[in-house]
Amino acid sequence: MSQPVLLCYHAVSSSWPASVAISESALESQLAFFRRRGYVGLTFAEAERARLEGTLPNRCLVVTFDDGFVSTLRAGPILADLGFPATVFVVTHFTETGEPLCWPGIEEWLAGEHADEMVPLSWSQLGELRDRGWEVASHTVSHTYLPGLSDADLRSELRLSRMTIEERLGACETVAYPYGRADERVAAAAAEVGYLAGCAFTPLYGIDERYRRCRIGLTARDRGWRLRAKVSPGTFAWRRSRVGTRVDRMRLRYRERRYGTYFRDQSTRLASALEPEPRSADAENPPP
């Protein structure tokens, strides 16, 4: 069966010089590349269902946005013009409270001229995206490094975020793991709490399975030959080969040596975020 191409973006901004942001023009040019080649756009859940039913289109594109930055809205008209839907993975603690998005890796942007970029999408904005054919899915409750959590906290992160999105918007079928990381225990927990599928990230570690789908992260530099190379079937095949897998494992070990303590330390910040606060059914987002 053919493999869908899963793209991973975060914020959409021409003025924010952060690694998580891509400009509207770069986004438009990358997605137009797929449109010209006849790719059919599906949400992540639609693509997973099509895989299960054996009805996946030959050339299938899944566009995903992690984190729920309010600037994701800027992608709406671009995707609509090209006829592609998208999936946005939101961190429910921030969507519920309206607090600026904040976790290791983006904290430096909380103050200063780009602080507005950290505003999360609201439920009403997410409802509008859903009504335009987007999928709204989980990026957990608090954006923590899931492999570092206890079994109970891991299940809470996955289950409570899913329940919250279901209550607010009627459905939550899939999950993207913060930092793209999910070991076997995390993947099993996602299946256990009822998700249809889960998204990891590159590097692939040789794994591409229903609860750990790999995605390609594109930046503004990915144009022309670089974009073609990054999304080509040959690149996928190489990364799943024995050598490609070995290289990815070396990268993973390096990253975990470098960031392991950093991620584990963050896990302890979760206790309060995981305590669901009582709220009335019709409560709106408080202002950020």
| Footprint of Zn ion (CB under 5 A) | 66-67, 178
The nearest distance, CB 138 to Zn ion, in angstroms, is 11
**Nearer of residues 41 and 178 to Zn ion, judged by Cβ:** 178
Q: In the complex, what is the shortest distance from the CB of residue 179 to Zn ion, in angstroms, rounded to a whole number?
A: 7
Q: Which residue is nearest to Zn ion (CB)?
A: 66
Distance, CA of 15 to CA of 3 (rounded, Å): 34
Shortest approach of Zn ion to residue 280 CB, angstroms? 29
Nearer to Zn ion, 139 or 239 (CB): 139
- What tokens does 203 get? 């590097």
State the minimum distance, in angstroms, from the CB of residue 66 to Zn ion.
4
Nearer Cβ to Zn ion (39/94): 94
CB-based contact 105:154 (threshold 8 Å): no
* Selection from 153, 61, 54, 68 nearest residue 102 by Cα: 68
What amino acid occupies position 13?
S
Classify 223 as helix, strand or coil.
coil
Closest to Zn ion by CB, 51 or 212: 212
Rank residues 120 and 244 by Cβ distance to Zn ion and give the closer one.
120
3-class secondary structure per residue, 31-87: HHHHHHCCCEECCHHHHHHHHHHCCCCCCEEEEEEEECEHHHHHHHHHHHHHCCCCE
Residue 68 corresponds to which tokens in the numbers above? 């729920």
CB of 76 to Zn ion, least distance (A): 20
CB distance 82 to 133 below 8 Å? no
Burial call 21-35: b when 16+ CB within 10 Å, e when fewer:
bbeeebbbbbbebbb
For Zn ion, give the closer residue by CB, 66 or 248.
Answer: 66
Cβ of residue 68: shortest distance to Zn ion, in angstroms? 9
